[in-house]
Each structure stands twice: as structure tokens, then as C-alpha cells.
Amino acid sequence: MEKLKKWISNFFNAFKVSGIPFLIGFLGTFAGSEGTSKNWRRIGIPLIFTICAFIELKSFWVILLMVQSACLSMGYGIMDEYDEGSSLARFWLKILKNKSLLNYFVRGTIGLGISLSFLIIPILREIGYFIFLEVLELY
């Protein structure tokens, strides 16, 4: 019986390491397929992060991770002759006036938003957050 409990524990630990990233990658790919809703990516991926964080931290404040859903809904679209692009891309184009840098700034903005949403985790764990602030002061 003890071997079975250990095997089940090892299985779930292996799933956390490999299964969750696989599921997130699948949702990202599936949402990009023709005829599927982008909401699989926009809502599904932040929901997986939120559920995992809730299981680990046991705090309802992890719901703030769902801010990622708004970040993923901004859109990566760069305008061309067939598409007007996302509002985020149009915003950066007005500032930059340079279409060659546009892709970096659009993707960087979305990545920054997603990264900032993860700040709730060290705050809730009460570790690492002050180290993060000290690193910011160095720059």
C-alpha cells in the first residue's frame, strides 16, 4: 500500500512538471487553429495558472492571476494590407512611427503585463517580494 501511495505521489509530481506545460502549450496551439475560439488561450491558460496557484498557496488572492486574460486579449496583430491590426499595435505605431520595431514593442507589452501579474505569488508567500524591490532599486 505504501508503494502505491508513493507511486501516485510521484505520478502527480511528474504531471506538475510535464503535464501542465503540455496542457498550456496545447491550449495555445488549439486556440490558434482555424475554426476554434481564441478564448481557449485567453481564458484557459490563466485559469490553469490560477488553479495551480490556489492549490499551492491556498489564497483567494490568486484570482488576480486572471489579469493575464486581459493581457492575452490585447492582441498581437500587426497591421498589413489585409488586417487593421490590434489596438495595441496601432497605439505603438503612433508612438514609434517605425513598423520594424512594432512587433517587439507589442509582444513586449503583453509579456510585461503577464509577468507583472505573477507578482502576486511572492507577495502572498511573503518571500522574495522585497528582494524584487531591492533589485528594482539597483536599476
Q: List, run by run, the mean pLDDT of 10-residue segments along the chain (139 residues).
A: 79 74 84 81 86 82 84 80 82 86 90 86 69 57
Per-residue model confidence (pLDDT) at position 108 = 92
Per-residue model confidence (pLDDT) at position 135 = 57
* Contact status, residue 42 vs residue 73, Cβ threshold 8 Å: yes
Q: Helix crossing, 87-96 with 99-117: angle to 10°?
A: 120
Per-residue model confidence (pLDDT) at position 82 = 80
Per-residue model confidence (pLDDT) at position 63 = 85
From CA 45, how far away is CA 18, in angstroms rounded? 15
Per-residue model confidence (pLDDT) at position 51 = 86
Per-residue model confidence (pLDDT) at position 138 = 54
Per-residue model confidence (pLDDT) at position 123 = 74
Per-residue model confidence (pLDDT) at position 125 = 73
Say how far residue 22 (Cα) sits from the centre of its chain.
14
